[in-house]
Each structure stands twice: as C-alpha cells, then as structure tokens.
Chains A and B, each alone.
Chain A
C-alpha cells in the first residue's frame, strides 16, 4: 500500500529539517568561532618560560630566582611556577608518561601572565633571564595562536557553506511549494484574473496557501534546533541562563533568516506565476 502524505506535509517536513540543520550549523559555528577567539585571546595574554634542565637537574632555587626576575620585569602581571607533577602531566604526550626519577630531567615551566595594558615582549623576558645567567626558552604561544586563527578560518568555511546550502534548500522549498499550488489552482486563478481580481490578491491567495506550512516548518525546525542546542548546552559545565542567552539569540536569528528566505522565494515565485497567468 502506498503511503500518501497530506498536501503540504512534505514542504513542512523539508522546511523543518533544513531550518533545524541551519540553526545547528549557526549554533555550532558560533560556538567554534567564540571558543577559538577566546583561546587565542588567552594565549596572547600569557607566555611560558621553560628553564633548560641542567645535567644534574634544575634546582628549585634556580627556578624561584627565574620567577623573581620575571615578576620584576615590566609588563608582567603575575608569575606561576608549575610544579614537577603538573609539568609531567603537560608533557606526558611527548615523554610517554615518564615517572619517578625521570621527572628530574624535564624542563621546569613558569607561566607568565602579561599586563593587558602594556604587555612584556618575548625578547624582553629572554634578555632579562639571559642577563641573570639563566638558560631558558620563552614561548609567546605564536604557534598556538596561529593554530587558533587557522581553526577559526577552517571552521568558518564549512559553517558558512552548510548554512548557505540549507538556505538554498529553503529557497527551493518556498519556490516549489508556491509553484505546486499555482499549478494546482491554475484554472481558478486564471478565471479570477479574467474576472478582475487584482494580481496582488492572486499573489496573496497563493502565498496564504503555502506560508502556513513554510512558517510552521521553520518554527518547528527552530524548536528542534533549540532543543538539541539546549541539551548540549546544559551538558556543558558552567552553563547557566546567561551563557545560554547568546545561543538563543543566534538560533532565533537563524530561524528568522530561514523563514525569511523561504518566504521571499515564495513571494517571488507567486509574483512570477501570477504575471505568467495574467493574459
């Protein structure tokens, strides 16, 4: 037995699915861009100093001296010496999980938070340590910042592409829905135009027969995206009403954009089909 969907149900389903996808795309894209931006900002606000390990191991006194020199350098807000265990954790991917005596040969790391108003330069910190006879490498996180920037660029293309594909699909759905309705009621519309109905009224009646399913589809898609977004947002540690406000605005804007695109193409098609039908 063949399943026959009610008139307009397919339009509703397609609109809902594409709006949900567009909403999730916008939401995911905004999250990636925001996280990458935040990561980059944080990386730009700090440097990491690695004290070269001496053959007999680096003494705590030398590390403390280096930290004091760094703290006294202009443009440094705060200095934090990372203990050996923390360093071992950070370097675990490169040290294959070294334990016990092996930890002594690892470099000691000092995290330097820069003064946001006049941050110290990498060379300035390196010079200060060198002048005190401390062998150290100062990492200003350029590589990581570049990676964060690349992530933003790389994430933007698929997000925009996905969003554009969804909007193109919605435009097609709006156009096809009106086209199908115009085809179905062609005889009635032609007669009404011949009897003096204004083209504007014909366009209105064509739109009224399609806009409910398009609008309802967009609304349903928006709600589906909101439900999925909310579920993943609430699962994120530290989520609260304030952090969920921005995604809600993005989702509402994406849903409105979807409805606008589908509605605009429906209007354009209705105008064109009515013009074609008028003698």
Chain B
C-alpha cells in the first residue's frame, strides 16, 4: 500500500490491525467481523496479527528482550522456548547486545528494528507494517526487508504501507489517494 503523506495509509493500517474502530463501513478479518465479536474474541484475532506501528508503541519500562517477547508471552509460549526464540530474533535484528537495555536507550533505527522484531515474534498469520524501515539505514533496512519477505515466503501474509511504491516486490499493490484507492479517487 503506498501513497503520499496524508493519503490515509496509517489510518487504514490501524483499522485493519484493530487498533482503531471504523466509524462507518465494515472490516472482516479471517472471515470474521471483529467489532461484532466480544473483547475476548477480538483479542484472539489480534493475536493472529503482527503490527508495526508508525509510533512503534514500545513499552518504556520493559527491556528490549521483554518488549520483543511480549506477543509470545501473551500467547502463553513456554519460557524456555520464548527465551530461545527471542534470542535468535534479536541476533537477526542486530539487537542481541542490547537485550537488557530499555527502549529509551536505543536510537530510532534500533527502536524500529525492535518494533519489527516484536511484530514477527508471535509468528503472526498477517503482518501489518506501517513504514517498517522508514528510519533505518540502507543496510539495516535491507536486512529487515529480507526477513519479512522470507517470512512471507513461509506463509505469512505481509501488508506493508510506505510512501515508496518500490519498497519491495509485491503481487498486489494499492495506491491510496485522499483516503481512497486511486481507481476510485475523484480527480
């Protein structure tokens, strides 16, 4: 999904990720109506998603490792599996040396990598990533994109929003213009 700033990419991603409730219209996720479900039902649907928010939404009083492990902890993964997987993930993201640091101690590039690590940690069925490499240097961005595409090849649906239409190869592209797909946008 691409478009100019203010086109509505972040809004659409937030609604698709059940972080915002639409005022009108309908959202279906995995064939279900999330806003017609109970809070518990919505929570179950959210656990099947991975989200990279533009504001990153890292928890300041948790360490880097604890932040990355959060979706697994919520999903009830066993502690030994959780430690091993988070260790591997942080190594892949180049954050292994900062596992005990707090998000406030990281630079923005590292914080963004941590947000991506947390989003993929729970092995989601769909990953919604809003500008996932926007603040990263070219090397880190290439590394993170490689990971995301690899997960996509393994079966995870990947939805990325960016101002750059050529960020990654995609079988489907949607361009937003003032909140609508280009094909529906009024000139």
Contacts and interface: CB of A to CB of B under 8 A. Distances in A.
Interface of A: 187-188, 190-201, 275, 278-279
Interface residues of B, number: 29
Contact of B74 (A190, A195, A200, A275): A195
Given A191-B70, A194-B17, A196-B122, 8 more contacts: A188-B59, A188-B62, A193-B43, A193-B46, A194-B53, A195-B51, A198-B43, A278-B39
B40 interface: yes
Contacts of B40: 198-200
Contacts of A196: 43-49, 71, 74-75, 122
Greatest chain B CB density within 10 A among A187, A196, A200, A278 is at A196
A203 B143 CA distance: 38
A191 B57 contact: yes
A196 to B, nearest CB: 3
A95 B117 CA distance: 95
Nearest to B20: A279
B115 to A, nearest CB: 10
Nearest to B62: A188
Contact of A195 (B20, B44, B60, B70): B70
Contact of A194 (B19, B44, B60, B61): B19
Interface string B55-72: 001111110000000110
B51 A194 contact: yes
A193 B19 CA distance: 9
Given A200-B40, A278-B39, A194 B57 contact: yes
Nearest to A199: B39
A192 B43 CA distance: 10
A188 B61 contact: yes
Contacts of A195: 46-47, 51, 70-71, 74, 118, 122
Contact of A192 (B49, B61, B70): B70
B21 A279 contact: yes
11 contacts: A187-B59, A188-B61, A188-B62, A191-B70, A192-B59, A194-B17, A195-B47, A195-B74, A196-B45, A200-B40, A279-B19
B18 interface: yes
Contacts of A197: 43, 74
A198 B46 CA distance: 9
Greatest chain A CB density within 10 A among B49, B51, B74 is at B74
A279 B62 CA distance: 22
Contacts of A193: 43, 46
